[in-house]
Structures are given as C-alpha cells and as structure tokens.
Amino acid sequence: MTNRVVITGYGITSPIGNTPETFWTNLQAGNSGIDAIKKFDATETGITVAGEVKDFPFDKYFVHKDKKRMDTFSIYAVYAALEALSMAGIDTEDDMIDNDRFGAIIGSGIGGLPVIQEQGARLATRGPKRIAPLFVPLSIANMATGNVALRVKANGVSRAEVTACAAGTNAIGSAFREIKHGYADIMLAGGTEAAICDLGVGGFANLTALTKETDPKRASIPFDKNRSGFVLGEGSGILVLESLEHAQKRGATILAEIVGYGSTNDAHHMTTPLPEGSGAAKAMQLALDEAGIQASEVGYINAHGTSTQANEKGEALAIHTVFGDDENVLVSSTKALTGHALGAAGGIEAIATLQAIQHQYAPVNAGTTELDENTSIINVVLGQGKKHDINYAISNSLGFGGHNAVIALKKWEGE
C-alpha cells in the first residue's frame, strides 16, 4: 500500500517576491527581479546583474544574533519553511502532529558560500587560529535542513540534497517518496541558495557560464537565439507535503497533488548536458510513468531553461522527445524573471508550477523574442502568459554533474 501525497502549504523568498501573492503578481505580469548587483562591488568580475532577494522581512522571524548563527542560505530556508507551515495551518506544538513522522529535506547547490569566502580571506590574512568557531556549521550545505528542523521540531526524516541545480527538485522528489512509502506524514521540502558574492559570481563568470549582458531585461532570455549565459539568482522555495489521509484528517486545504518523480544522470560531462537531452527525457518519462499519465495530459512544463546555449538545446530536444509536437503542452522558464537560483531553483519553480495550476495560467517566458532552430521545436510561451487548462504540469531541474530531476503535479479537484 502506498500513500497519495499532497501539497498543503508553501513559502517563498525570491527576487520577485517574499510572499505568495507578490510572487504570483510578478510571475503573471512577467515582471523581472533581475537588476544591477548591489550585494557587493562586482566590477572586477565583469558581471553587472543578478537576481537578488529584495526587502527581505528579516524581523518577522529572526533577531540580530541569528545572523551570527546562520548563513543567509539557512535564514532564507527557515523563513520559507515557517511561511509554508503557516499557510498549511500546522502548529508543531499540536498534539495531532507526530514530530517523529515530521521531517525535512532541503537542497542547496553550494551552502554558505559567502561565509566560505569570508573565512578563506581570514585564513589567508590572519592565520588558522582566527577562523570563526562556527565556520563549519555556518557553511555546510545540510545546515539549511538542520536549522529548519531545529526551529520547527521536525524529528523525522532529515537530510540535504546536494545535486547542484537539481537539488531543490531532488529534495521535493525524495520527500514525496518518503511519504508515499509510509516513512513520514509531513515533510518540508525544497531548496535554498545565497551565493551572490565575489566568489560565486567570479567562479561562474570564469567558467563562462554567466551572461555579460548589462541590460537586465535582456540578460536572462531562456530559449532566445541570442541567449548568452545565465544570471545568478538566490532565494528559497519550501513546500509542505503531507499524506492525503493526514491532510484530510486535520481538515487541511489541499493545493495540489504530487504524482510523479523522475531522477537520472547523464554520466556525460561535469557541466555540459547530453547534446540530445536523453537523460532529461528519461527523467521526464519516469515522472509521467509514476504519475500513470500520458504526455498528452500535461498542460504546462516549467523548464529548467537557464539561458545558456547547450542547456536549452538539450532540454528542448528532451521535451520534444517526450511530448512531440503537441501544441497543448506550453513551456516557459521562470528564470527569465528570477535568474538561476542554483539549488533553490527547484523549490522556487515548484511553487511557480503549483501557482500555474491553481490559476490555470502558463507564465510568460519573459524577454525572449526569437527562438532558434534548436528551441523552436517546443511551444515556448512568448509575449505574455496564457490562460490554459492545466490538469497536470511538470517542473524540470538539470544540474552540473549530469543530475536530472523532474516532478509531476496534478490539479486538486476536491476528491
């Protein structure tokens, strides 16, 4: 026997909003959160724009000393988790909640990169005795999960997924399976990242992965023939997943159902995906197979779409392999608005996919004006978003190391 798994809440902090309402308003309108880098002077990196979180409501859940005990990626995750639990109506002190069956799986591509940069500089200039005592627990990638669990008393299944840009989606898929197969009743799942610093931007820039475009509106243009690299983003997206039985027993409002998960590896190259996209295609097909649906039943795909040539050629071919020429399957990458938040991308984009289902609306692939011969084989949403029947949707995340992760969501119809 297996359990059905539903979504009952979510929390978001992102370049286009720190509340569900603001996030959706900007997503629907195609308002980009990409702007000039303000977190540090990026002049020497040659990169001018990023997708930074703006007006983060730190005081809502934190006090000043929290900055000394958590790196920003952990703070973002704790914020999003608390917002998600609030939406779900879950009080972790409630006797109805079995904390031993309440867990968290949160992905991060890198962890506390700013504190790694800071303490590396301290080592170089002041020696090893001056490294901060909390350097390791501040920086290691599992501490987003650890800090969330500590804050909400999640004593059950607990781990981090560290699969680069696929981490957030892998985390959601893993949490889905924990509930499906009976190991948990409630899971917090998603991704978090805060890597906009000299080391993060400089590292990706020297890898020639980032765009040098200075116009924020033309910087992240997924699937456009003139795309020139990704824009680094940040933030966190966390979902509350529950077994259907548990959610119904406590009278929860159900937002959508997770019905499938696919995970594969290209085993091809450290950073470059398989040119024909076969690994991503397998992951999509696995998600559909677990969901028990045909490709023709999917109405929307939130693509990985990083605004890089190799990634989008492969992903477009993968989508075409699975979905063919079906005009009902609309595709967009919301990284056009948020930038690429690395390990947080899967969590943020799962929320975008969920909201697309809730509003029966496929968000625009903002900024893109002309597809090339490699990307015109899929139905990219251009110009503006579209009202559309979306009973099923999938969200793709494809990461360095060849990691491919896909989740399939279903519209909730009050069953």
Q: Are 192 and 233 in contact (CB under 8 A)?
A: no
The Cβ-side half-sphere exposure at 180, using a 13 Å CA radius, reads: 13
Does the annotation count 181 as an active-site position? no
**Helices within 297-371 (DSSP H only):** 309-323, 335-338, 345-359
Length of the chain: 415
Contact 304, 270 (CB under 8 A): no
Distance in angstroms (rounded) separating the CA atoms of residues 19 and 281: 33
Q: Which of 181, 340, 359, 388 is catalytic?
A: 340
Annotated catalytic residue: which of 197, 246, 304, 403? 304
Q: What are phi and psi of 371, to 5 degrees?
A: -80, 155
3-state secondary structure of 7: strand
Q: Strand 5-13 and strand 158-159: pairing?
A: unpaired
CA nearest to 146, candidates 97, 181, 184, 111:
111
Cα–Cα distance between 71 and 55 in angstroms, integer?
17
The helix or strand, by DSSP H or E, that contains position 238, with its residue range, turns out to be strand 235-243
CA 276 to chain centre: 24
- Integer Cα distance of 204 and 125 in angstroms: 25
Q: Are 103 and 160 in contact (CB under 8 A)?
A: no
CA-closest candidate to residue 297, choices 322, 277, 317, 280 = 322
Active site residue 197: no
- Encoding tokens for residue 299? 């109405």
3-class SS at 125?
Answer: helix
β-bridge partners, 11 = 238
Residues involved in catalysis: 165, 304, 340
